[in-house]
């Protein structure tokens, strides 16, 4: 029997030079295991936003690939990412999804760990002998770095610094995305979570897929008023673009006038935001600030897609967690303004509920087509999946090719990185 | 309820149960126009996340006013939403009724709901605690608020092509 790494030696057959994806990419369990080792164990994986860990002792559970981790802010204010597994006999030391604590204690034999993962104490230690080294028995700690509030962790101590992994263009777009704080820091307001019977790469593709929007989301478009519907007709206006930003990352600009939310502040306000304008004026906000906040409430005009697991998607974070070859967990994290007007945050949450999550007007239709992809791959094993759309007129961008708004340029960027990481 | 006799209590429980069963029947039959007609326009249909009570100022799975309820139903009915054309089929039971309060013409009732959905030959089971605020009128009850708290509402769910 072939070893898994030999079985996948011919990476060109899995993702061809002319942008065809082999069916087995979505359904081969051995390949999935290789991906978890070669990609999710070796690169930067997004685990949390700074605002989710507001105080010392604040924590949340997260994942790096298949591994459950705790993300926690310690007494010094540093964020630690710790594998959620006692060093004694492997029990999880935390099963609370988020909260605040002063330590983590294993429920099995009472080993206690500090917020930095260090082993603080254990019952009856004398049975391990006098030379027992507590320093060598802390919770396994991942390398952790942050950019503009986005916290990433990696098992790979040799990987390049986070800022280099992101690169200059991604950092520029992250900074632009965070302008939707409207002058306030961006804050996580909550999240929608749903699991979908699909391979994780189906999701990776979708965040950079504008082509599907008018088809899959027709019923969402119909529930919008005229102005908002216009804004989402980005395929017809053709003003947007998709650009490969290097290292598997890409941006899909749907509404170019919303790239920089400090611009176009004097454009007419969409009808759906007029009640908010009035509420902010009544609340005593000066006119300049009202414009800035209302502009920000509408969100950014692009999806910034980071390889391998997080997308900055118009107005929220979309996070994927692979579960197995045919199952992926999705989180849609709602964002608002930390210390901003309650009316603005209410509007942000209602807009999020409108499209996102298990009861949204958009996500259930996305989930349906993603599952249909997974179901469809049961037939025609020999047929390739096409991600070659828009190759015909790509132009050079700052760091990689830039294509039509409906081009599959972003998917090709991701698969290029996939191939690079799988070949190492 | 201090002015009511034991028989009045039983009569109320029976009327409330019959109303909630009729609502459940409309939802399983996907008679959404019939369901919309049960509502008072000022009411909210809410599926919260977690234990919070301040639905306006928290993220929910849905928090529908009259306009959003109508838009949601229109989305189901127009046939352009791939997840609801066809939708999952459902069979639900509503039980464990507890009348929480009666004030004037307003009754608050808690209940348990179990929903089994079927799509793609796969069945899923959902359970929820419900709380209805009902207002009595000449032609029966109307819904002022309905709060459905799914078990694991703050955990991993699936997407839904029907109502709870």
Same domain, A214 and A247: yes
On whether the CB atoms of residues A14 and A22 are closer than 8 A, the answer is yes
Under an 8 A CB cutoff, do B83 and A97 touch?
Answer: no
Q: How many independent structural domains does chain A possess?
A: 2
- Do the domain assignments include residue B156? no
- Residues A130, A178, single domain; the answer is no
- Is residue A200 located within the same domain as residue A76? no
Which of A63, A353, A367 is best to mutate for the B interface (most B CBs within 10 A)?
Answer: A353
The Cα A249–Cα A245 span in angstroms is: 5
Q: Is the pLDDT of residue A342 over 90?
A: yes
CATH number at residue A106: 2.102.10.10
**A147 to A17, A84, A171, A360, B118: CA distances (angstroms):** 33, 24, 8, 30, 44
CB-based contact, A216 to chain B, within 8 Å: yes
H or E segment and range at residue A12: helix A11-14
- 113-142 in chain B: CB under 8 A from chain A: 120
State the average pLDDT for chain B.
95
A179 and A296 together in one domain: yes
**A405 in a structural domain:** yes
Residue A124 sits in the same domain as residue A184: no
Q: Best of B59, B62, B84 to disrupt the A interface by mutation (most A CBs within 10 Å)?
A: B59
Mean pLDDT of all residues in A61-87: 98
Q: Is residue A13 part of a domain?
A: no
ipTM surpasses 0.85? yes
* Residue numbers of the domain that contains A65: 45-147
- pTM above the 0.90 mark? yes
| Mutual angle of helices A287-297 and A274-282, in 10-degree steps | 140
| Residues 70-89 of chain A whose Cβ lies under 8 A from any Cβ of chain B | none
Is A56 among the domain residues?
A: yes
Q: Which of A372, A218, A301, A204 is nearest to B159 (CA)?
A: A372
The answer as to whether A368 is a domain residue is yes
Residues 57-86 of B with CB under 8 A from A: 57-63, 68, 71-72, 74-75, 78, 80-84
Interchain CB contact of B51 with A (< 8 Å): no
Mutation to test the B interface, candidates A99, A215, A219, A362, most B Cβ within 10 Å = A219
* Band of residue A3 on the pLDDT scale cut at 50, 70, 90: low
In a domain, B157, yes or no: no
Assess if residue B164 is contained within a domain: no
Domain containing B49 — which CATH number?
3.10.450.50
Task: Read off the pLDDT of each residue in B100-128 and give the average, rounded to a whole number.
Answer: 96
For B156, the closest of A190, A193, A220 (CB atoms) is A193
Q: C-alpha distances in angstroms, B121 versus A21, A198, A326, B124? A: 28, 17, 17, 10
Is B49 an interface residue toward A (CB < 8 Å)? Answer: yes
Residue A324 lies in a domain: yes
Whether residue A278 sits in one domain with residue A206: yes
* Full residue range of the structural domain in which residue B107 is found: 6-150
Assess whether A140 and A213 both reside in one domain: no
pLDDT digits (tens, 9 = 90+) for A391-403: 999 999 999 999 9
Per-residue pLDDT reduced to its tens digit, A107-145: 999 999 999 999 999 999 999 999 999 999 999 999 999
Contact across the interface for B157 and A358, Cβ inside 8 Å: yes
A215 and A328 housed in the same domain:
yes
- Alpha-carbon separation of residue A33 from A417, B4, B24 (angstroms): 17, 66, 44
Is residue A290 domain-shared with residue A332, that is, in the same domain?
Answer: yes
Residue B95 lies in a domain: yes
Give the tens place of pLDDT for each residue, B30-73: 999 999 999 999 999 999 999 999 999 999 999 999 999 999 99
Asked if the Cβ–Cβ distance from A190 to B58 is below 8 Å, we say: yes
Cβ–Cβ contact B157 with A under 8 A: yes
Q: Give the pLDDT confidence score for residue A58 in this predicted structure.
A: 98
Residue A200 maps to which CATH number?
3.90.380.10
Please report whether residue A402 resides in a domain: yes
Q: What is the pLDDT of residues A407-421, one digit of tens each?
A: 999 999 999 999 999
> A141 and A175 in one domain?
no
CA pair distance A217, A295, nearest whole angstrom:
23
Q: Would you state the pLDDT for residue B71?
A: 95
Distance between CA B87 and CA A183 in Å, rounded? 42
**Is residue A18, in this structure, part of any structural domain at all?**
no
pLDDT of residue A1: 46
Q: pLDDT at position B153, please?
A: 97
DSSP state of A306: E
Centre a 10 Å sphere on the Cβ of residue A29 and count the other Cβ atoms it contains.
12
pLDDT of residue A182: 97
Q: Could you tell me if residue A67 is inside a domain? A: yes
Is pLDDT at A273 greater than 50 in this prediction?
A: yes
Report the residue of chain B nearest A335, measured CA to CA. B59
Residues A402 and A296 in one domain: yes
Q: How far is CA A283 from the centre of its chain?
A: 34
Q: How far apart are CA A63 and CA A320, in angstroms?
A: 10
Distance CA A328, CA A319 (A): 10
Chain A nearest C-alpha distance from B5 (Å): 42
Examine the fold and report which residue of A93, A114, A147 is the final residue of a domain before the chain moves on: A147
Q: Residue A21 in 3-state DSSP? A: strand
- pLDDT at res. B1: 47
Mutation to test the A interface, candidates B79, B82, B121, most A Cβ within 10 Å: B82
- Please check the confidence at residue B119 and state whether its pLDDT lies above 90: yes
Is B82 close to A195, i.e. CB distance below 8 A?
no
Q: In terms of domains, do A396 and A368 share one?
A: yes
CB B16 within 8 Å of CB B141: yes
Average pLDDT over all residues of chain A: 95
Q: What is the bridge-based pairing of β-strands B39-48 and B140-150? A: parallel
Interface contact B82-A365, CB threshold 8 A: yes
pLDDT at A25: 97
User: What number is the average pLDDT over the span A374-390?
Assistant: 96
Residue B119 domain flag: yes
Q: How far apart are CA B52 and CA B54, in angstroms?
A: 6
| pLDDT interval class at B5 (50, 70, 90) | low
Q: Based on the structure, what is the number of domains in chain B?
A: 1
Bigger pLDDT: A225 vs A388 = A388
Is A317 touching B (CB cutoff 8 A)? no
């Amino acid at each position: 029997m072939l070893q898994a790494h030999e079985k996948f030696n011919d990476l060109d057959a899995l993702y061809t030079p002319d942008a065809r994806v082999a069916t087995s990419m979505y359904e081969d369990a051995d390949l999935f295991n290789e991906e978890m080792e070669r990609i999710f164990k070796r690169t930067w994986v997004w685990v949390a936003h700074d605002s989710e860990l507001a105080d010392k002792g604040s924590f949340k559970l997260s994942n790096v690939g298949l591994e459950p981790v705790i993300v926690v802010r310690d007494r010094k204010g540093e964020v630690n990412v710790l594998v959620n597994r006692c060093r004694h006999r492997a029990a999880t030391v935390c099963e609370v999804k988020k909260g605040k604590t002063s330590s983590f204690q294993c429920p099995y034999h009472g080993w206690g760990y500090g917020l930095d993962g260090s082993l603080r104490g254990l019952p009856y230690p004398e049975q391990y002998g006098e030379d027992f080294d507590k320093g060598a028995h802390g919770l396994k700690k991942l390398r952790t770095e942050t950019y503009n509030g986005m916290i990433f962790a990696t098992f790979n101590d040799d990987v390049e610094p986070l800022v280099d992994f992101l690169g200059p263009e991604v950092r520029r777009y992250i900074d632009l995305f965070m302008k939707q704080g409207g002058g306030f820091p961006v804050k996580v307001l909550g999240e929608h979570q749903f699991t979908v019977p699909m391979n994780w790469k189906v999701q990776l593709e979708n965040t950079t897929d504008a082509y599907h929007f008018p088809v899959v989301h027709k019923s969402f478009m119909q529930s919008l008023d005229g102005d908002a519907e216009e804004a989402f007709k980005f395929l017809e206006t053709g003003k947007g673009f998709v650009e490969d930003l290097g290292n598997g990352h890409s941006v899909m600009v749907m509404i170019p006038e919303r790239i920089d939310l400090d611009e176009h502040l004097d454009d007419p306000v969409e009808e759906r935001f007029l009640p908010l304008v009035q509420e902010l004026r009544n609340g005593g906000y000066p006119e300049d600030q009202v414009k800035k906040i209302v502009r920000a409430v509408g969100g950014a005009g692009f999806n910034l897609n980071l390889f391998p697991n997080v997308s900055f998607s118009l107005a929220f974070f979309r996070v994927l967690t692979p579960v197995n070859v045919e199952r992926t967990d999705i989180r849609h994290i709602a964002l608002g303004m930390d210390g901003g007007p309650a009316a603005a945050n209410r509007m942000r949450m209602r807009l999020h509920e409108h499209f996102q999550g298990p009861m949204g007007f958009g996500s259930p239709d996305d989930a349906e087509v993603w599952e249909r992809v997974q179901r469809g791959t049961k037939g025609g094993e020999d047929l390739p999946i096409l991600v070659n759309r828009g190759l015909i007129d790509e132009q050079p961008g700052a760091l990689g090719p830039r294509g039509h708004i409906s081009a599959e340029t972003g998917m090709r960027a991701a698969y290029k990185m996939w191939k690079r990481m799988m070949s190492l | 309820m201090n002015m009511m006799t034991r028989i009045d209590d039983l009569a109320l429980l029976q009327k409330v149960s019959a109303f909630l069963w009729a609502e459940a029947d409309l939802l399983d039959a996907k008679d959404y126009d019939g369901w919309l007609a049960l509502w008072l326009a000022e009411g909210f249909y809410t599926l919260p996340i977690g234990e919070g009570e301040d639905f306006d100022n928290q993220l929910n799975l849905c928090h529908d006013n009259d306009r959003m309820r109508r838009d949601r139903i229109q989305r189901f009915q127009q046939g352009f939403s791939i997840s609801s054309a066809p939708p999952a089929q459902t069979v639900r039971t509503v039980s464990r009724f507890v009348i929480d309060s009666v004030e004037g013409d307003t009754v608050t009732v808690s209940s348990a709901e179990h929903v089994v959905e079927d799509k793609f030959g796969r069945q899923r089971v959902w359970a929820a605690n419900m709380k209805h605020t009902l207002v009595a009128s000449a032609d029966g009850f109307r819904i002022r608020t309905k709060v459905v708290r799914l078990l694991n509402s703050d955990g991993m769910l699936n997407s839904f092509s029907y109502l709870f």
